[in-house]
Amino acid sequence: MKETFFRSMTWLHTWVGLLVCWVLLLVFFAGTVSYYRYEISLWTKPEIHSDVLQAYQTDNLVHQLQEGQAYLSAHAENAKDWRINFPTERKPYLSYSWQTHPEPGERRGQFIEHIAHIDGQDMVTDIRGSRGGNFFYRLHFDLHYMPAKIARWIVGFCTMFMLLALISGIVIHKRIFKDFFSFRRNKGGRSWLDAHNISSVLALPYHLMITYTGLITLMLMYMPWGVITAYEGDARAFRAELKPGREQVAASGTPAPLIQLSTLLPAVKASWGNTPIKQVVISNIDDENSRISFYQNTQQSVTDLRIPLIFSGVSGEQLSQASDTPSAAHATHDTLMSLHTARFAEPVLRLFFFICGFMGCAMIATGTLLWAVKIRQKQQKLIKQGNKPSFGLRLVEGLNLTFIAGLPLATGAFFYANRLLPTQMADRAQWEVHSFFAVIFLTAVLAYFDRSLTSWRRVLGLSAVAFMAIPLLNWATSSQHLFQNIASHQWALAGFDLLSLLIGIALWFARRKLAQTHTKSSNRVAASASRANKGKRVPTASAKVASDPELSAKEGE
């Protein structure tokens, strides 16, 4: 261990941060993108972009419920359950969906969703296979190509490291208030440190919150012993007590007709007033034990609880009360969970969450870039003598290129795959995901051979063009283009295109910035042309360092 507290904290911050930063970047990036999970899902289903999107209509509920019940009993007679999903702000369409009984050997049955047209005539049934925003949501904690359980342990481990890095970072940042507003441009390593500090400190409340609550989301998996002891190993009993509404009642086997769903609306209204209903779930259909659960749209309340109103499907008797207040511990847990998922956030707050998440990505990226810059400075002499940079440095620089520049490009590839792969392709949804990872892999291959600024420029330039062209892609492959979406107030779809355009422009600026640095540093290389360094490889780090005042002064002359 190092001799002083401060130095050991610095050591901890550096190594804890560096060890997991690329997985963390992936997780943070996926999480940030997931704030627009439903918006992305909507964009990835161009089949429903016209004649489908509608707002919630209180007056039309009776009719919609009756239609839904009739449709489901005609099309999904033998389903495990039925769901009627009313339009919400983020999923602005009416849909009837059901889950089939699992085939032998399957854990879950197939999930089928049919979406209603505005005019109530026929349904949209042939929607392309795509995981849409759910891919990023799952990637955030389940990663991919591995069992979810292992992935969650990896993510949890990395999150714990992140919490350590955050706290040790606060401890070692002596000038946290003095340097609060300081960003010194074009100062090589200093600038990276400033950028790291700014992205960390400004969004620090967010970073601490999201990391801590991230651990909370899976706390019972990471630390199950309390529950095991209290419930003597019976996890099911714990869950039943925690969420009585979720308790599954087994079918009795005695057939009994289902009542009309719409007859329950007055009882729902008596409990909830005019609060919009989000979903109606019918389980054990046409059985004596059938259950009808109404879920409300919790809108802007800071909660993740889904407390249903449950009715018997045969008698219509109300089986649960609306006013079950959760215990203090339960409420605390719920608040922390909802802070993490931000389901309550309306568009403006959602944008702030997105910006903060983006700053988190910037914090991780600048941290590892800073490490590479510093180490390269240390090895500068050796490298100039013609030695190769150390393995650690090459590895870090390679991973930096792969993940920092590769992730936006891979995301772009995912959207292009969504629109360009044939709609009837087998395993289509999976191939969209494969294209995401294929691009990361290709970037890694590029990084293996060439980690110079030229590579960075190429990858960033490609992503910039890809993102700037997304509105065009949407125009070419969907029935509604950007201006139509703006005209018809479809802000989720229009916002997707506009945000992509903005991200593309930002990436283009990043590329241009690198190009400027590049010319500056080649000038310097040309000046010292007799050196062993042939200028073929302009290394990331020293190029950054090279953009010093001396050179700018020279250019000014």
**H or E element in which residue 282 lies:** strand 277-283
Name the burial class of residue 149, with classes exposed (0-12), middle (13-18) and buried (19+) by CB atoms within 10 angstroms of its CB: exposed
Phi, psi of 255 (to 5 degrees): -70, 145
Compute the least distance from the CB of residue 491 to other proteins, in Å.
12
The reply to whether 489 sits near other proteins by the rule CB under 8 A is: no
Distance CA 151, CA 157 (A): 10
Tell me how far, at minimum, the Cβ of 269 lies from other proteins, in Å: 21
* Interface pick for other proteins out of 1, 328, 329, 348 (rule CB under 8 A): 348
Q: Which stretch binds other proteins (CB under 8 A): 56-64, 94-102, 178-186, 267-275?
A: 178-186
Question: Would you count residue 423 as binding other proteins (CB under 8 A)?
Answer: no
Cα→Cα distances 35→56, 80, 347, 548, Å: 22, 30, 10, 39
Stretch that binds other proteins, among 62-70, 195-203, 217-225, 255-263 (CB under 8 A): 195-203
When the beta carbons of 212 and 238 are compared against other proteins, the nearer one is 212
Alpha-carbon gap, residue 159 to 83, rounded angstroms: 35
How far is it, in rounded angstroms, from Cα 6 to Cα 8? 6
Q: How far is the CB of 363 from other proteins (least distance, A)?
A: 12
Stretch that binds other proteins, among 38-46, 340-348, 375-383, 506-514 (CB under 8 A): 340-348
Site for other proteins in 355-394 (CB under 8 A): 355-356, 359
Cα(114)–Cα(185) distance, integer angstroms: 54
Contact 35/357 with Cβ under 8 angstroms?
yes
**Which stretch in 199-207, 283-291, 385-393, 529-537 sits in contact with other proteins by CB under 8 A?**
199-207
Q: Find the helix or strand (DSSP H, E) in which 341 lies.
A: helix 328-341
Binding positions for other proteins, 242-281, rule CB under 8 A: none
Residue 509 as a binder of other proteins (CB under 8 A): the answer is no
Tell me how far apart the 2 most distant CA atoms of the chain are, in Å: 92
Tell me which of 167, 240, 302, 506 binds other proteins, using CB under 8 A. 302
CB of 31 to other proteins, least distance (A): 16
- Find the part of the chain contacting other proteins (CB under 8 A) among 39-47, 147-155, 198-206, 271-279: 198-206
Name the residue among 541, 553, 240 with its Cα closest to residue 398: 541
Stretch that binds other proteins, among 271-279, 344-352, 439-447, 462-470 (CB under 8 A): 344-352
Q: How far is the CB of 357 from other proteins (least distance, A)?
A: 11
Q: Which residues bind other proteins (CB under 8 A)?
A: 178, 180-183, 185, 198, 202-203, 205-206, 300-302, 335, 339, 344-346, 348-349, 352-353, 355-356, 359
